[in-house]
Structure 1
Amino acid sequence: MANLVCGVSSSALGQSWQWRGQNSGFSGENPLEDLVDRILITRGCPRENLSLYRDPKIKHFMPDPSLLCDMDRAAERLAKAIYNKESIVIFGDYDVDGATSSALMIDLLRQLGVNAGYYIPDRLAEGYGPAVQSMQKLAEDGTNLVVTVDCGAQAYDALEAAKATGLDVVVVDHHQCQPELPQAYAVVNPNRLDENEGAQYGHLAAVGVAFLLGAALLRHLRKDNYFSDKPEPKLMAMLDLVALGTVADVAALHGLNRAFVAQGLKIMATRHRPGIAALLDIASVSRPPTTYDLGFVLGPRINAGGRVGKSDLGVRLLTSLDKNECDKLAQQLNQLNQERRAIEQAVTEAAEALCEEQVEQPVMVVSGGGWHPGVIGIVAGRLKQKYGCPVIVIGIDGEGNGKGSGRSLTGVDLGAAVLSAKQAGLLVNGGGHAMAAGLSIKKEQIEDFTSFLSEKLRKDVEKARANKALLVDDVLSAGGVNLAVIEALEAGGPYGAGWPSPHIVTGPVHAIKCSILKEKHLSVIFKGQDGQSFKAIAFNAVETPVAQTVMAAGRDRGLWVAGKIQLNEWNGRKDAQLHIEDLAWA
């Protein structure tokens, strides 16, 4: 137990507080620099590469795209289509990763003089990925080459049908693959089971794989002197799309992804893309965007088109060059997002009631008639957070056909388990990646599928739960909660999946003022032994152990407070505020 922080073995939320890594080996001459170095190292940065990770640039992390299987073959086929002025269609998924991947390929080809079409299937009418009918229709319409992005790795029947019509398909995907690949002209996917060096890039979102394909294509054209009489597209200017898709798809922000997001945020801050500028405006984001904005402000609005509206709205917004059109599309997506929230709340309440009957299960699988398939993934994510286990939410239509979406815990590979269930004949279709999965299922299969998942994942879930602890990066006095620390912490970012925001502990402190905001948030002013005070807030904390502990402590009992230090801007003033995540008696 020597790794405990402040001796906390059981906090208000019943968890231990542990150092994220070894809290030693630093000079101590500059505490803020030491804090940043500690953050980087404990998230996987080699000590000798600290300078590179402080400002991650693409050139330091970008691999040779040819490392990936079929990459050169895919680039050559695209180049051939450009030379021969063939008809190219980008076939994308209806989520943010699919929309940004599609937009990147469309933008790149447009700058190469090709007006590529796009096809985004309707979530309700067509479901996920290529279908036999959609491939046949594209062939009938005279398409020569289809590039699937963020889908295709499991589209066996559809790509077989495409091949039969003479339609070439290049798959650009990142979802888990089976040993046998679909019959495509090329399959570019770092999660192919036969990948060697390229497997280290399995954490990329599909938009990151698309960016690598773009680099391979430009290199191929450059060797052919294609740009001797024309300008070369600015691939780096498309990093705003890569950053958005990467964060929204909850891809791990280490290595190349971290460079994608760090540089992509800088590109996005220039507002050069009319669609993203319009979306930032409709969301009232006037400052330079952050990873939070990508994941919780822009992402949900783009997703709303595919969830409860028209599936192609996101691609239309991200590829349009007309400001007026972008403003209208952003307004439409914003309205759809509000509708999505209402639908989501109703499904969440119904699913939550069913989860209460399964609290002892390692994996919760809940289903309901008429649950909108556009919100089940979000609901699964919320329930996973509440119950601390993988959750799959299934909406069933009037004919007994179910569409499901699941979210998992770190260390529990849900995508692989769903793929195994498909191979065992328990699903109509299914797949995904470690933290998320999608599936199609018959109503009568749900019980057997639930038993299969529980048996397969029980040990992994137990291990993940046993390892639950609040991982702490530093302990500060009350006076340490300040703007200088926030600036230092930003140097360790961007933060997100796989590169978590720092947890800071401060104390011992006393609560000198408490108030309830909007009947659900707890606002506190704490004062430390150094005589300094700081503001803190605990969101949605009323009637939770966090609020109860603060109220019980009053002004007399000392507390350790753990959370994330964030910038608070109000009426032109800026100060530091601690977002409370846990508490313990001092």
Structure 2
Amino acid sequence: FVFDHHLPEEGAPLHSAVVNPHTCAPRSAPGENEAGRALCATGVLWAWAWKHSLLPRKRLAAMTDLVALATIADCMPLTPLNRALVRQGMDILSTTPRKGLARLFSRLGIARPGSALTEETLSMKVIPCINAAGRMDFADTAVNVLLGSPNVDESVEMLISLNRKRQSLSLKISKEAELVLSGGVNVILGESWPVGVLSGVASRICGATGAPVALAAPVNGGIRGTLRVPEGADAVGVLSALSSKLEAWGGHKYAAGFSVSRENWDFVRRDLQQALSSMKVEETSVTAIAMAPEEISIESWKEACTLGPFGNGNPPPMFFLARKGRERMLPLGKDGKHIQIDAGGIRLLAFHGENEREALAGADGWVYRPRIDCWRGEERLQYVVDYAVV
């Protein structure tokens, strides 16, 4: 069987060996099989195995750690089913992680087994290392870590090394792409770019600017690209309109990929640029509770976290701190990229805030979210800025 969770082309029948929850009910019946449609491919495989008792259910329950990693990695909406799977999987990751993951956690300086593991830690530290293998080299290295193979220590070191290379390369490509995008261009072909890192770069740029972006690179004589659009837009709909000129395409509402021949690239680039530059996206509203950081205790925040796991479809509670006029912008870290806002002894952390220093300094207030950090064995609350209110 082939297990997939992408939206199939409407009207195109799938092979009988393909298991895809989107084919279980017509799209005109959105309420049917909604939970299944929100699963990532790993979740589809797990649910199929559970439904047909392909393995003892006790053993399947112990494998929800893999489902949790995949669900968070693919930014799937945290519906009640996904939330339950991720919560159970994160409990396993926190208490009894697999041998290879335990080694990776240790090398990354993540909390020891038995300590709480957060969605943010997985998405910002662990998952990028696991994904780096397939992006920069061969996915076998990540599989070795997940399975706890005999050479697991060597594989863990390789993951960390590959992720550092990915970070460096992604930063270089981001700077090149942002320079072109600043001129009003939404579609870029990088002749020397490795295609494996483009999805992460495109996601970061789209998230930071709120603008749709398509990045592409040459692969095996053709061109492969990745498309990211902001909330309210439809990446699959954009590519569907260009399908006659594409060799392959697919994905999700906000993230999709495509392949095109060299001969058709100029036509695709023109039409894709026109579609993205004319895209009308409504600005999303942000809801926050007016509350000062010192009013939030670590105990109350832990209680709020029982509403999690947080992520796509289940955002964390956010809070608003109004400006009083005595706040100071201070450097954070050694590289000069980050800022901390000193608000009378309480400090808000603005990661990569140096690029937005003027907006942060002149803001009427800041929308922030608490997070639990572990320093020298002790838990403490940090306050991370998500928005400057101007």
Q: Percent identity?
A: 27
Corresponding position of 2:138: 310
Task: Give the whole-Å Cα distance in 2 for the aligned partners of 1:270 and 1:571.
Answer: 19
What do residues 87-124 of structure 1 show as CA deviations (whole Å, max 9, x unaligned)?
A: xxxxxxxxxxxxxxxxxxxxxxxxxxxxxxxxxxxxxx
TM-fit CA distance, 1:308: 0.9
Q: Secondary structure at the match of 2:52?
A: helix
**Match in the other structure for 2:257:** 438
Residue 450 of structure 1: how far off its partner (Å): 3.4
State the partner residue of 2:283: 467
Q: Distance in 2 between matches of 1:259 and 1:232?
A: 16
The list of structure 1 runs, each at least 4 consecutive aligned residues, that deviate by more than 4 angstroms after superposition, is 193-196, 454-459, 549-553, 571-574
Which structure's relative contact order is higher, taking Cα pairs within 8 Å and 6+ residues apart? Answer: 1
Separation in structure 2 between the aligned mates of residue 449 and residue 536 of structure 1, nearest angstrom: 44
Deviation (angstroms), 1:206: 0.6
The answer to whether the 8 A contact 2:50-2:57 is kept is no
Q: How does 1:208-227 map to 2 (within 5 A)?
A: 208-218=43-53
> For residues 238-281 of structure 1, what are the alpha-carbon distances to aligned partners after superposition, in whole Å with 9 as ceiling and x for unaligned?
00000000000111112211111111100111234222222212
Using the TM superposition, name which of 300-309 and 484-493 deviates more: 484-493
Q: Which residue of 2 aligns with 1:428?
A: 247
Q: Distance in 2 between matches of 1:383 and 1:507?
A: 28
The number of residues matched between the two structures is 380
Q: Secondary structure at the match of 1:506?
A: strand
Unmatched 5+ residue regions in structure 1? 1-169, 222-230, 528-532, 554-558
Bigger mean CA offset, 188-197 vs 259-268: 188-197
- Using a 3 Å threshold, how does the CA distance of structure 1 residues 534 and 311 change in structure 2: closer, same or farther? same
Q: Select which of 350, 355, 359 maps to 2:176.
A: 350
Q: C-alpha distance in 1, partners of 2:306/2:253?
A: 29
Within 5 Å, which residues of 2 pair with 1:41-120? none
Post-superposition Cα deviations, 1:44-73, rounded to whole Å, max 9, x if no partner, equal xxxxxxxxxxxxxxxxxxxxxxxxxxxxxx
Confirm whether residue 300 of structure 1 aligns to residue 128 of structure 2.
Answer: yes
SS in structure 2 opposite 1:207? helix
Relative to structure 1, the CA distance from residue 437 to residue 330 in structure 2 (aligned partners, 3 Å threshold; closer, same or farther) is same
Aligned residue for 1:18? none
1:455 deviates by 5.2
Structure 1 residues 372 and 317, CA gap change in structure 2 (3 angstroms): same
- By how many angstroms is 1:313 displaced? 2.0
2:3 aligns with 172
Rg (Cα) greater in structure = 1
Change (3 A) 1:478 1:431: closer
Give 5+ residue unaligned stretches, structure 2. Answer: none
TM-score, normalization by structure 1: 0.60
Asked whether the 8 Å contact 1:369–1:397 carries over to 2, the reply is no
CA distance in 2, matches of 1:443, 1:177: 25
Alignment match of 1:548 (pick from 338, 351, 358): 358
Partner residue in 1 for 2:217: 395
In 2, Cα distance between equivalents of 1:456 and 1:548? 32
**Of 164, 173, 177, the match for 1:338:** 164
Q: What is the rounded CA distance, in whole Å, between the counterparts of 1:232 and 1:584 in structure 2?
A: 49
TM-score, structure 2 as length reference: 0.88
Deviation digits for residues 166-190 of structure 1 (CA, Å, limit 9, x no counterpart)? xxxx221101112223434x32211
Can you list the C-alpha shifts for 1:170-228, whole angstroms capped at 9, x where unaligned? 221101112223434x3221122744632442111011111111112317x8xxxxxxx
Please tell me whether residue 499 in structure 1 is matched to residue 310 in structure 2: no
Are 2:187 and 2:272, in contact at CA under 8 Å, matched by a contact in 1?
Answer: no
Q: Distance in 2 between matches of 1:415 and 1:549?
A: 34
1:291 is displaced (CA, Å) by 0.9
For the pair 1:416 / 2:231, whether they are aligned, the reply is no
Conserved 8 A contact 1:408-1:414: yes
Q: Which residue of 1 aligns with 2:152?
A: 326
Between the aligned partners of 2:97 and 2:371, the Cα distance in structure 1 is 28
- The residue number in structure 1 matching 2:305 is 490
